[in-house]
Structure formats: structure tokens, C-alpha cells
A and B are shown apart, each in its own frame.
Chain A
Amino acid sequence: MREVVRVENLSFSYAGGVKVLDSVSFSIYEGEFLGIIGPNGAGKTTLIKLMLGLLEGFEGKIYLFGKELKKFKEWSRVGYVPQRVAIDRFHPVSVGELLTSVVGHERRLKDLVDFLHMEEMLSRRFTELSGGQQQLVLLGMALSSEPQLLILDEPTAGLDIHSQEHIMELLRELSQNTGKSVVMVSHNLGALFSNADRILAIDRTLRYEGSVQEAESILAHLFGLHRE
């Protein structure tokens, strides 16, 4: 399988602070669904922000599609769904405007709207949507450029069980049927263990990297975590 991301000896500290990540190394492969887990403050969000070039001043190397992060320019190959979008509740932007701001072609917009069943949401303000609908829109925006790598930061956090299942079903479909690599940070171990191909457990440093089955059995020893 082709390597999509390679992280080598990655260390990072916020200005004047302690090390958030220490010598983390791993790879992500084409078509793989990778789950990243770890306790609060373990550095999960920091790790994906570093991979996305959103934070600077790290030690080590990050490669995206074979190119070093500093030289990487093909950002349309990467889709990102952030942990939460902290916009003002009065923000007037409509779902249609959000999607057209990121989608290049009319045809692609229609495909995306059909795939995510967003027809009825298009004329509504983003802030009027439920949490699950908002996550769908964010996913739609991330998928707009037909990325080969999709990175999601806790996409099911705060959603009801039906919305969680819907999002996970879509991600599984994307990973299995379209060959996209999906990287998902989550505390939702049940969802990750049911859908991911591989698990990465971090707590400032890499604590575990391997199969879901093995992860389930040893996580209790690592973090005292249990599947819900």
C-alpha cells in the first residue's frame, strides 16, 4: 500500500510550555481508516494540526504524499473536519454559500449534496442546524475537493447516537468504496473499534500502534480505557 503520511520523530511544545508530543513516528497508508485515541491533553489534536501545517515550530519530519510538509502545496488532496466550529450564533452564512465557497464545479456540488442528503439544508443558516447536520455540512466541505486524505477531529462529539452512526457509516463507506485514507481522532472507542483498520494510541508519546483487536485488549492497561 502507498504511504500517504509519514511522521518521523515528531516533537512539539507550545511556546514556553512542556512537550505536548515527544518523538512520535508512524505512517498512514492509502485506503486506510486510522483511529487516533488517547486521554484529554494527550496531544491528539496537536498531532493532526501539525500534520495539516496549522502549527509551526516542531522538531522531526512530516511527509504528505511523499513531500515534506514545508514543500507540500497540493492541499486539495487533504480534507479537514475540525473539532468544532466556534462561530457566532448570529452568523448568517447559509449552507449553500458554505458549500459553493469550497466547491469548484456545479456538478460536484450536486453530487455532494446528493451523497450527504443535504438538499433541504441548502437555504438554511448553518447556525440553525442541529449538531449532526452541522457535522454533515463540515464533512461535505472537507470532501468538496475530492481529497485522498480525510482528517477528522472528534466528528461525533456531542451528537446523538443516530447522528453518530450516520457519520460513521459515511466515513466507512468513504474509506471502503472510494479508497480514501481516513484519519479520525475520537474518544468514541466503540465507533473507532467497529470501523477503523488500525489504532494509534498516544499520550504525548506513541503508546500503541497496531490492530483494533489487539488495541481492545491492551488499552485498559495503557490508559484504563474501556469500550463503551
Chain B
Amino acid sequence: MTSKPTGGRMARIGHDPIAFEGFYREHVHLVQRFIARRVDDAHLAADLTADVFLAVIDSAHTYRAGRGDPVQWLYGVARNVVNSELRRQARGLRATSRIAGRALTGSADIADIEARIDAEAQARRLHRAMNELSDGDRAVLELVALDHLSIQDVATVLGIRLGTARMRLHRARRRMQRHLSPTETPTEVMP
């Protein structure tokens, strides 16, 4: 995995607009693809993109180089933001955010977001099907099967041991057999 921004740069992105801009430009598409694998509403996807980066700004000071690289950390932040929102939605709620992402979109932007969402239809079906799994098993399978992280990266993102991650993946796969293609393997390395 790449680790371009150093720990020092990560510490700055919460209070230095230039440092933040570099991080944002490098990762905005990764974040939007992550969201498109979980959400099928373009306006909500725009809101969540804003929410994920607001969470990045708020929690950049918690980044520790020894616990994973910035992309692994970002996946962890994005997961928390998106999952909390999906849980709120399941209860009919929507959190109000400091920045309403959807208010910043024009029709061309919505078309871009929808194209990204369309491209991830299979991932979202899988994501919905994972509802039957426990939270812990689901977290591992999501990152492997939807986001194509390696099992080592997943362990780092979730802060669990490699052996635990493997065991959860094994269990989740067994339960999800019918939704996963037989050739499903985590080959893609994190960008």
C-alpha cells in the first residue's frame, strides 16, 4: 500500500488548508467509489462524501503511523461515517451536517455520481445481502469483497489480529456462499 502522506502531513490536514487539499485531491475518488459501493442515492452519496472528509478533518490528529498507512486509516473513517448514516437511515433519521454535499451538486455532477453508482450495482447487492452477518464478520467481508483490500490490510483497518480477520472472513464467506462468485479472491491492492 502506498503511504505518500507522512505522519506529519496527516497531523496537519486538520488545520492546514494546503495540506488538506493535497489529501483531498489524492483521495476524493477513492472515497466516492467506497460510498457508491454502499449507497444508491446520488444526493445521499454527495452528502456522505462531505461527511467523510469532515470526519477526516476532525480526526486527523488521531492518525498514528504505527497503526497503518493513511489510506488504511481513511477506509476506517469512511466505514464509520457511512455505516452510522445507514444505521440512522434504517431508523428513518438523517444527521444534519456542517456541509450539505447535495447542495453543491449540479446536474452534471449528479450524472457523474450516478455513473459511479451504476458501476457498483453488484457490490451494493452484496452489501445488502451481508445484513445477515454479525457486525464483526460483516466488516471483514465488506472490505475484502467490496473494496478488494487484502486480508492484512483489513486487519489493520479494523485494528484486529490477522488470525481473527482470517477466521471471520472464512465464516462470513461460508454463510454468504450463494452471493459470492466462486472465483472471488482479494487480489487488488489498495490504491
Pairing of A with B:
no
A residues within 8 Å of B by Cβ? Answer: none
